A and B are shown apart, each in its own frame.
Chain A
């Protein structure tokens, strides 16, 4: 039993948790922006898959990681643009169209994979970059400052997102569009522009979330490799009560429990059925969600299309 409390075990669990949390953070922070402006984007998973494939393929062909990342950003932005057109201009039902975009991304990444690669390949992805000095701090250095660059950026995004949403005019506009678009519109805030911005930003971050898997953490592409991760990211936004720090807490909780269950399975002194172990992160998340979120209100205009009624 004491095995699990040794320093090396704890370090390896926390390091695993940080890595696992990375794609969730990108996707969920992006989703936070679009939901705060009143748009539910259920296409995250599809955006991630396309971002993952395109960045992987570009790196596979050019061996240029930054070009790969850029291509994921572009693909994500284009998917976001299409989503914005459908939900803002055409005022489509957001849940249904989001699922449409998910299926599109799933099918399209699959099709491209078959046409362009055909089989599972590997690339040399972003490698671990220890941060000078900080990475030398015992325990903490190893956990937080010995990761690849996309992991660092994911965690930096949290304070940035918090700052933008709460301390800038842009953030105020996003929030007001999500709470009361008519009022925002009457004082000259363009609901259309704001929503285009947040949905495209969400698309970009989802694309990067995919890239963080295919060219940084795993360095392979497989069909449907996100396997539901994008939907969990959407759930994490609710879990985090539409706040960046809440999303971070949710992503870390989920990922840490995931890392713990992987570890518990291989500790001899604890015999836990693997079926129970793999359920742990989900059960815990549901419990925390029920216990904490019920008193927080979603943005009032979430999922409601805006029509100026001219």
Chain B
């Protein structure tokens, strides 16, 4: 009996530590140091909670939203005006649903479920908390048709930056072969790739754009091998989307192939070969959401970040010597997309 007890203790300890690692710790970390001076206590801070599938430092999807939240927080005047907590690594939808309900019960004003897999959970939870705002993406479905009025939705027109990246990629490729490493063919990854292919073909209809879907958002090793496959097929320019791309970027660097990033800036991973990144800047979406909530509108609106509204930003690696004519072609593509003269077919 004594032995069993010890086993249970050891296991409990292991579980506790692992739980700290994945979910509990960050929530506490998120409201750190800087104590609020007592005399300044203004109105209650606006409380935001965010649930995301990967980490706030994934150099991709989750980080893009977290960085935007922090930017908005600074705009509003720091932690006294807005409180941010987050749960990361919530790849299990059931766990995410529990976290969403917890935050709602604790009185958070806005709860962002940052992943299209969380939609059905919101649909179930949101009606129970009618004065709490929820938001999710990437999607345009706010469940308004189902009579739910406190859910916002947001989406990224990632095909736009994809197109611009594609234009540059085709201009820079000497071999005429370009490789794309994708996760699962859906959502903004699918849009990005469609835009990228269209952009590349607009410069050179004969360019070969090979697309690989590895079936995972986390398998770094397979992403790297997908990049190797592209190199083996003659590609000298690569791109990819989602949080498993660092493996692929490493392979590109080793082989001297160029890289185009999306979602967040990936320049820091390989300064010699990253040409440009499409960066998601969700602050425009957050600003509008917050304005709505202030006016008592808790949901029902869908937002899209685009090049035109500044939610999508082309970020160029200053360390990379981009030929002037290629940069001009990219700028022309951005303008064309903004003024509508370029239409990107995404079905």
Contact = CB atoms under 8 A, between A and B. Distances in A.
Interface stretch (B240-248, B282-290, B331-339): B240-248
B210 A218 contact: no
A227 B229 contact: no
Contact of A92 (B7, B226, B232, B247): B7
Contacts of B212: 262, 265-266, 274
Interface in A16-48: 16, 19-20, 23
Nearest to B251: A218
B269 A223 contact: no
Interface in A61-82: none
Given A107-B22, A218-B250, A266 B229 contact: yes
A223 to B, nearest CB: 6
B58 A217 contact: no
Interface in B22-57: 22, 25-26, 54-55, 57
| Among A12, A23, A96, residue most surrounded by chain B Cβ atoms (within 10 Å) | A12
B10 A218 contact: no
Interface in B91-143: none
Nearest to B18: A107
Contacts of B206: none
Give the interface SS of chain B, mostly helix, strand, loop or mixed: helix
Contacts of B225: 16, 19-20, 258-259, 262
Given A97-B7, A274-B185, A266 B22 contact: no
A193 to B, nearest CB: 20
Interface in B56-77: 57-59
Contacts of A218: 220-221, 224, 246-247, 250
Nearest to A93: B7
Contacts of A259: 225, 229
B11 interface: yes
Interface in B177-197: 179, 185
B17 interface: yes
| Among A20, A91, A229, A262, residue most surrounded by chain B Cβ atoms (within 10 Å) | A262
9 contacts: A20-B225, A97-B11, A111-B17, A111-B25, A120-B246, A120-B269, A218-B246, A262-B226, A274-B213
List 6 tightest A-B contacts by C-beta distance, closest first.
A107-B18, A107-B21, A12-B232, A278-B215, A274-B213, A266-B210
Interface of B: 3, 6-7, 10-11, 14-15, 17-22, 25-26, 54-55, 57-59, 89, 179, 185, 210-216, 218-222, 224-226, 228-230, 232-233, 243-244, 246-247, 249-250, 253, 268-270
Given A93-B7, A219-B250, A262-B212, 16 more contacts: A9-B233, A12-B228, A16-B229, A19-B225, A23-B221, A100-B14, A101-B14, A105-B18, A107-B20, A107-B21, A109-B21, A111-B17, A114-B57, A122-B269, A213-B221, A223-B54
